[in-house]
Structure 1
């Protein structure tokens, strides 16, 4: 777990910084500089390509890590990256043929922004390929840093330039696409600097691996379906809220959901690091190590997720007091709670979906993701008209709980491993208990002081309890390393 801890910590730190910039920009810059329509247009050219690229990439995202061990060995990995890029180019070419052939039948907003959206499809396809490919070499920190520098910090700079009338709005839209292109190019340069940017794939090697290529094609087909289901499950809330109850409600949902997404940062960071390791263990049938990785990832993620959710929920009222027009967004308070619970259970079940995906039962994972998408849409259709944005959040939470429960049970039945133990229950009890104690803390009449005191109280007692009861051996070891470095006056995380 040493590599996992280092990479997950550094990636989480970079992601937290990126999210902090994103949240502050959303709350204090975008709403000041752009009107509602302009914000929607900027969001549209970034989110619309996400669904399109799942089809244009021909399921490539599911191949990158899954089949890397079959190509690894020589220095150039048999030109695996070159093969992946060729597949992506074929998918992008197919996208252009179909979209141009059906151009007159496309939605008006899509036609109006066809050039920018199509450019984003290509750019995001390569960005995602390079980001995922870097995971094969346990490299997740630098992609997160690159994303933070150019996107999370770059777009607010464009907004300020527009506010100062240095750029027109059309130039801002074009520049956003340019920032994504810079990210993709930077990732390619990073992989090259690592010594792994090899495009000359070996035809002889591929000719000898016809069965492998057939398996990859079959896996990619399921990958397209699964990825589409995953994107629908993640993106459908905003679309359905807008259609069923209007833009205003969707604006509130978007803002509060940004805060809820903070909870999942450690999950994405750790999963990106553990996925290639889990895949290697499964390929060599080291199921004892898979089980150990499963359990340790689960308890570590549960501890971190509970801490973030507890701190966010305890300080939320004070955050709304500090926000401009905070009373308008406070109606979405329970969106954060429901979304947070769903994300927390997702974290607690850790790599269950990845375990399924790296075995011969990978097709089960794709069907469960499609089930998740259908269930999310169905619940939203019923709950949004009844309970507004809280209904959407509750439906998503319920879908996530059922989806992960199915995955956990499948892994338990098929492979006889599961992620939970008594310490998992203790973490939940600790979180609920500390939340109850925060209700006894008096108000100071100043939201900044209230946030500071609650955050300090939770951090102090939560950390002491986690270390005292040894809820995570990895965190206790990390704590010992910190003390050792302090004593040696060499306190370095990096």
Structure 2
């Protein structure tokens, strides 16, 4: 896993840099410089953009990764890449036309509870288009096994842009409407920079020749729209549905809780960028032994790292909520529930990469559609009863069922399983550490408490991981940077 470990480590660094900047934005700048209503509107706009992004992209970002290595001649590859660039336009243009002529109908439907939503429908559409083509250009780089710059742009660039805009708003250089336009502009610029980088790696040669396996490619692209939509819906539909049931300012409180929990998913997101093309390569070459080895190692590595981040969040969460505005503390339960679901995601390792690049994605899509319907129904039941806590419960239940089915499906079809003897040991370490440190409080300032607890947890956790050598990759990495070898 040399290339995986190297690029994953670099991606983790850039992703955590992005999350650090995002934490400042989410926990402090947005909460201080924007009204709760507009902060909720930003969360709603971006969540809705992410929900419709897979449709805008026509699934090309996954299709490009899956089929790229199967084209062996220059002409066939250029024809395939030309198709990948053109297909999203075939979806985007009709959707833009529908939005133009149906603006009032769509806007009135979405803004039944919160009228502010209607004013920013076009903002959402432009962000969605930018997200779609950004993913296409990122996939263009991924298939060349180059993920570091793209991951930096995906995780850091837009957060820095948002920070600059927030300070500009605070110092009255821009007003609220200009801030919202500026936020959209940041996503457009990010997409254009990724475009330049991708084409600098491999300049497209526009070739309109017949693409072999065209029907198979189109079928996969169409079905992967559903797959991408399922994954995105499971992450963002709760925020979209909250906008239909509760005041939009409460979405701001939910956003903060979700952001805190999402830190657990950072290593998985970083590693996923290189796991996708590698899994596609092993599947195309039918090298199932290498695929199984990648599955196990990715699971163990992500469980160790994700478990450590889970610990840091859970044991420090009470102190963290003491240093942000009091009204946001209503998301405490959300943090606990969503953090557990994110840890389960990490435990599955390269499961998604295997499924999205295999011939069995059709059955998973059917199950996914059922589960999206289940999640929507759960949100309809739980949000009116428990508000943002209900949305968290619905998300947890849907993700738990969805992940469990995917775990079983990969085992059934490929006879490979991500768990090893180390999995149980890591689980025991996470649970025992949570119980040991959660109730251990100091009487210092909350920031000092967080620092002291984090240092103690880090020393304890790293010592146990090294002592029992749960992960060869992680142990080697720790020893290298601590100069223990």
Measured against the shorter chain, the TM-score band is: over 0.9
Distance 2:433 2:122 in 1: 52
Structure 1 residue 344: deviation in Å? 0.7
C-alpha contact (below 8 Å) 1:357/1:365 kept by paired residues: no
Distance 2:353 2:366 in 1: 14
Deviations 1:209-264 (A, max 9, x none): 1xx10001111221222223333222121233343343343332111111011110
Structure 1 residue 448: deviation in Å? 2.2
Structure 1 residue 482: deviation in Å? 3.0
User: Alpha carbons of 1:76 and 1:193: their partners in 2 closer, same or farther (altered >3 Å)?
Assistant: farther
C-alpha contact (below 8 Å) 1:7/1:138 kept by paired residues: no
Alignment of 1:161-200 (within 5 A): 161-194=168-201, 196-200=202-206
User: Alpha carbons of 1:475 and 1:162: their partners in 2 closer, same or farther (altered >3 Å)?
Assistant: same
C-alpha contact (below 8 Å) 2:337/2:392 kept by paired residues: yes
Q: Give the secondary structure class of the aligned counterpart of 1:203.
A: coil
Partner of 1:435: 434
Whether 2:265 is the aligned partner of 1:258: answer: no
C-alpha contact (below 8 Å) 1:56/1:92 kept by paired residues: yes
Which of 305-314 and 58-67 deviates more?
A: 58-67
Structure 1 residue 336: deviation in Å? 1.0
User: Alpha carbons of 1:51 and 1:322: their partners in 2 closer, same or farther (altered >3 Å)?
Assistant: closer
Distance 1:336 1:399 in 2: 16
Q: Give the secondary structure class of the aligned counterpart of 1:66.
A: helix
Whether 2:458 is the aligned partner of 1:459: answer: yes
Deviations 1:315-355 (A, max 9, x none): 111111222x23x2223212111101111111111222321
C-alpha contact (below 8 Å) 1:14/1:144 kept by paired residues: yes
C-alpha contact (below 8 Å) 1:80/1:198 kept by paired residues: no
Distance 1:238 1:187 in 2: 28
Whether 2:64 is the aligned partner of 1:57: answer: no
C-alpha contact (below 8 Å) 1:306/1:344 kept by paired residues: yes
Distance 1:130 1:448 in 2: 40
Partner of 1:355: 354
User: Alpha carbons of 1:437 and 1:268: their partners in 2 closer, same or farther (altered >3 Å)?
Assistant: same
Distance 1:187 1:60 in 2: 16
Distance 2:328 2:31 in 1: 13
User: Alpha carbons of 1:456 and 1:55: their partners in 2 closer, same or farther (altered >3 Å)?
Assistant: same
Structure 1 residue 467: deviation in Å? 1.1
User: Alpha carbons of 1:441 and 1:258: their partners in 2 closer, same or farther (altered >3 Å)?
Assistant: same
Distance 2:254 2:124 in 1: 24
Whether 2:310 is the aligned partner of 1:309: answer: yes
Partner of 2:410: 411
C-alpha contact (below 8 Å) 1:356/1:364 kept by paired residues: no
Aligned length: 478
Structure 1 residue 44: deviation in Å? 4.3
Partner of 2:218: 217
Distance 1:125 1:52 in 2: 9
Structure 1 residue 126: deviation in Å? 1.3
Partner of 1:492: none
Whether 2:331 is the aligned partner of 1:332: answer: yes
Distance 1:162 1:452 in 2: 31
User: Alpha carbons of 1:388 and 1:166: their partners in 2 closer, same or farther (altered >3 Å)?
Assistant: closer
Partner of 2:140: 133
Match among 150, 157, 164 for residue 157 of structure 2 = 150
Whether 2:83 is the aligned partner of 1:83: answer: yes
Deviations 1:126-167 (A, max 9, x none): 112112222212222212222445310111211211222222
Partner of 1:445: 444
Partner of 1:274: 275
Structure 2's unaligned 5+ residue stretches are 112-116
User: Alpha carbons of 1:238 and 1:434: their partners in 2 closer, same or farther (altered >3 Å)?
Assistant: same
User: Alpha carbons of 1:314 and 1:440: their partners in 2 closer, same or farther (altered >3 Å)?
Assistant: closer
Distance 1:293 1:172 in 2: 44
Distance 2:121 2:391 in 1: 30
TM superposition score normalised by structure 1: 0.91
User: Alpha carbons of 1:476 and 1:150: their partners in 2 closer, same or farther (altered >3 Å)?
Assistant: closer
User: Alpha carbons of 1:163 and 1:385: their partners in 2 closer, same or farther (altered >3 Å)?
Assistant: same
Distance 2:441 2:175 in 1: 49
User: Alpha carbons of 1:37 and 1:333: their partners in 2 closer, same or farther (altered >3 Å)?
Assistant: closer
C-alpha contact (below 8 Å) 1:72/1:78 kept by paired residues: no
Partner of 2:379: 380
Deviations 1:363-412 (A, max 9, x none): 02222322331221122222233333223212211211111111111111
Distance 1:37 1:228 in 2: 27
Structure 1's unaligned 5+ residue stretches are 488-494
Partner of 2:114: none
Distance 2:445 2:43 in 1: 34
Distance 2:22 2:146 in 1: 23
C-alpha contact (below 8 Å) 2:238/2:391 kept by paired residues: yes
C-alpha contact (below 8 Å) 1:267/1:301 kept by paired residues: yes
